[in-house]
Amino acid sequence: MTIPSIEGLLRDLAPQVLAALLRRYGGTQFDICEDAVQDAMLAAHQQWPVDGLPADPLAWLITTARRRLIDQIRSETSRRERENRQVALAHPLADAISTQADDSVRLLLLCCHPALTTPAQIALTLRAVAGLTTAQIAHAYLVPESTVAQRITRAKARIRESGSNFPDPASVSDRLDPVLAVIYVMFSEGHTVAAGEELNDVRLTDEAIRLTRLLHASLPDNREVAGMLALLLLTDARRPARTSPTGMLIPLDEQDRSHWNRDLIAEGVAILEQTLPGATPAGPYALQAAIAAVHDEATTAASTDWPQILLLYRLLERQTDNPVVTLNAAVAEAMVSGPLAGLTAVERLVQSGRQVDPQRVAAVRAHLLERAGRTVDAIDEYRNAAKGTRSIPERDYQMRRAQHLRDDDVPSSV
């Protein structure tokens, strides 16, 4: 197995190893368990390329992390505490592998500890379960990296001080809102990576879908869990057409829809059809799934039912104060009433003072200005959008659009 393949495997297994240790030794040991997992990952990174992949990589990592954990306890506690903990640690982890699916949910629940604020819950889960860096989390929430680092550190300390044990999976309903928020951010970051050469991080999107499937299996009658699963499936179905063979970003209206995953679309639509009917209004995730379904069921970009999408965005705006929703609604309004109407909606959002990513605003403005025929202004906004992103595929797309408009705007020689 190559080094990149080993690194990918370690990234996938790290949350399972951490969850196994926490399940056995309790959530109050979060810091030392995480340190032990990191030591095990380093040992694997050094040994596996030389010695070869073990027959059971997960069991190898759990055993190694457990040994590191024992070493830490021996070096950090008094003789009496050390003896007491060694008795507890003597129990084998034979059941860790068989319960790894439950461990994923358990780790989610621990990170969404009720003693933590919602931002801290999300930051800790994205770090521990998904393996996101502080930079990726900061980008997702439009806050400085130092703020995210402080949230994670304080969250660990708060869990340790609370003295709570690892939560029972049955308590998932009590912590459902932050759990779904975490999964949503995890998928979003994987769907459009904040920085680097790749547009997608399939590991994150696949993990988000896997976790949502586990939640849906545990709570089959919960409409928002079902809506979340439908949303992720319907969105991920378009991934094969979002980039060219060379990795260039392809916008939705230019994608080859024959490359969309029709099996995922059919599954997502089926879940949605069972989710939307009900006495109470659909929640935000179900509404977003409905929007995704309208896009996915359109055979061409021109046949997209934009009035229905705009209506769904209006319903969504009533349920959430997310400025990204308002920005997307502005695009839908432009498709229904013309680009000037969309630009007006964008300006209302900017003037409202709500926090919104300037790069997103610039990208939407550029698109609408181009449609309105304001070429010079569109070029400026495309360049602003390119400067504001650390994603190379997004940056290259914005620069290509600006160059295309500039070339078209140059009069031919006589």
Instruction: Kindly report, residue by residue over 384-399, the tens digit of the pLDDT.
Output: 999 988 889 999 999 9
For 129, residues 6+ apart whose C-beta sits below 8 A from its C-beta are: 15, 104, 107, 108, 111, 182, 186, 207, 211
Residue type, 225: V
Assess whether pLDDT exceeds 70 at residue 90: no
Token pair for 4: 């990149």
CB contact at 8 A, 186 and 126: yes
Token pair for 272: 């949605």
Assess whether pLDDT exceeds 60 at residue 257: yes
Span 182-238, pLDDT tens digits: 899 889 888 887 777 778 888 889 889 988 998 898 888 889 999 999 999 999 999
Determine the pLDDT at residue 2: 64
Residue with the bigger pLDDT between 195 and 277: it is: 277
CB contact at 8 A, 398 and 366: yes
For 412, residues 6+ apart whose C-beta sits below 8 A from its C-beta are: none
Residue with the bigger pLDDT between 84 and 59: it is: 59
Percent of the chain with pLDDT over 90: 39
391 - beta bridge partners? Answer: 196
CB contact at 8 A, 13 and 57: yes
Assess whether pLDDT exceeds 80 at residue 177: yes
pLDDT category of residue 107 using cuts at 50, 70 and 90:
confident
CB contact at 8 A, 289 and 216: no
Q: How many residues does the chain have?
A: 414
For 335, residues 6+ apart whose C-beta sits below 8 A from its C-beta are: 304, 306, 309, 310, 342
Of 177-186, 276-285, 290-299, 322-331, least confident by mean pLDDT is 276-285
Determine the pLDDT at residue 412: 42
CB contact at 8 A, 28 and 160: yes
Determine the pLDDT at residue 37: 87
Determine the pLDDT at residue 78: 46
DSSP class of residue 221 equals T
Phi, psi of 144, rounded to the nearest 5 degrees: -65, 155
Determine the pLDDT at residue 252: 95
For 233, residues 6+ apart whose C-beta sits below 8 A from its C-beta are: 209, 264, 265, 267, 268, 271
DSSP class of residue 346 equals H
3-state class (DSSP) for residue 195:
strand
Determine the pLDDT at residue 14: 84
CB contact at 8 A, 307 and 252: no
Q: How far apart are CA 390 and CA 365, in angstroms?
A: 19
Assess whether pLDDT exceeds 90 at residue 102: no
Query: What is the number of alpha carbons within 13 Å of residue 82 lying toward its C-beta?
Result: 10
All structural domains of the chain with their residue ranges: 1-98
The whole-model pTM stands at 0.76
Q: How far apart are CA 271 and CA 312, in angstroms?
A: 18
